[in-house]
A and B are shown apart, each in its own frame.
Chain A
Amino acid sequence: MAAHAHSSAAQPAILSEVKPTPFPRATLVENNRSFGWVTDKICGIIEGKTPTWWWVCFILACFVASFTVAGITYLVATGVGVWGHANPVNWAWDIVNFVFWIGIGHAGTLISAILCLLRQKWRTSINRAAEAMTIFAVVCAGIFPVFHVGRVWFAWYLFPIPNSNEIWQNYRSPLEWDVFAVSTYGTVSVLFWYVGLIPDLAVLRDRFFKAGNKVRSFLYGIFAMGWRGSNRHWSNYEMAYLILAGVSTPLVLSVHTIVSFDFAVSLLPGWHTTIFPPYFVAGAIFSGFGMVLTLMLPLRAIYGLQDLITQYHIDCMCKIVLATGTIVGYAYGMEFFIAWYGANPNEGFAFINRAFGHYAWAYWIMISCNVITPQFFWFKKVRENTAFVWILSIFVNVGMWFERFVIIVTSLARDFLPSSWGYYSPSIVEIFTFFGTFGVFSVLFLLFIRFLPVMPMAEIKAVMPQADPHGHAPTGHGDSALAHSTKH
Chain B
Amino acid sequence: MAAKPYGLIATFETTPDVYHAAEKVRDAGYKNWDCITPFPIHGLDGAMGVKRSNVPKFSLCGGLLGFTTGMSLIYWTSAVNYPLVVGGKPYFSPLYAFPVSYELTILFTAFATIGGMFFLNRLPMHYHPVLKSDKIVSGMDDKFHIVIESSDPKFNLAHTKALLEQAGGKDIQELEA
Contact = CB atoms under 8 A, between A and B. Distances in A.
Contact of B19 (A39, A235, A469, A488): A469
A244 B123 contact: no
Interface in A170-211: 170-172, 174, 176-177, 180-181, 184, 187-188, 191-192, 195, 199, 202-203, 206-207, 209-210
Interface residues of B, number: 71
A22 interface: no
Contacts of A229: 36-38, 136, 139-140
Nearest to A192: B110
B102 interface: yes
B99 A36 contact: no
Given A203-B140, A225-B124, A181 B103 contact: yes
Contact of B107 (A184, A206, A232): A184
B153 interface: no
Nearest to B33: A232
A391 interface: no
Contacts of A230: 34-36, 121, 130
A240 B81 CA distance: 37
A470 B42 CA distance: 9
Interface stretch (A86-94, A133-141, A458-466): A458-466
Contacts, number: 216
A345 interface: no
A239 B34 contact: no
B103 A471 contact: no
B39 A176 contact: no
Contact of B121 (A170, A221, A232, A488): A232
B123 A467 contact: no
A151 interface: no
| Main secondary structure on A side of the interface with B | helix
Contacts of A147: none
Interface string B111-136: 10110111011011111101100001
A167 B86 CA distance: 13
B40 A462 contact: yes
B104 interface: yes
Interface in A382-405: none
A213 interface: no
Nearest to A223: B124
A35 B107 CA distance: 35
Contact of A184 (B52, B104, B118, B139): B104
Contacts of A243: 55-56, 59, 109, 113
Contacts of A210: 137
B45 interface: yes
A477 interface: no
A166 interface: yes
Given A244-B114, A467-B15, A35 B106 contact: no
Nearest to A474: B14
A232 B36 CA distance: 9
A251 B107 CA distance: 9
A244 B110 contact: yes
A202 B40 contact: no
A89 to B, nearest CB: 25
B21 to A, nearest CB: 11
B100 interface: yes
Given A177-B99, A226-B123, A234 B82 contact: no
Contacts of A471: 16
Contact of A177 (B35, B44, B100, B114): B100
B141 interface: yes
Contacts of B35: 230-231
Contacts of B102: 250, 254
| 9 nearest CB pairs, A to B | A35-B142, A469-B19, A239-B53, A240-B117, A168-B77, A231-B35, A225-B124, A177-B99, A458-B39
Interface of A: 34-36, 39, 160, 166-172, 174, 176-177, 180-181, 184, 187-188, 191-192, 195, 199, 202-203, 206-207, 209-210, 221-222, 225-240, 243-244, 247-248, 250-251, 254, 258, 261, 457-459, 461-462, 466-471, 473, 488
20 contacts: A171-B96, A176-B100, A191-B114, A221-B126, A226-B126, A226-B128, A226-B131, A228-B128, A231-B22, A231-B40, A231-B45, A236-B53, A236-B116, A236-B121, A240-B55, A254-B99, A254-B106, A458-B38, A459-B39, A468-B15
Given A236-B55, A488-B42, 20 more contacts: A169-B77, A174-B99, A184-B104, A210-B137, A228-B130, A231-B41, A234-B44, A236-B116, A236-B117, A239-B117, A243-B56, A243-B59, A244-B114, A458-B40, A462-B39, A466-B15, A467-B39, A468-B15, A468-B42, A469-B41
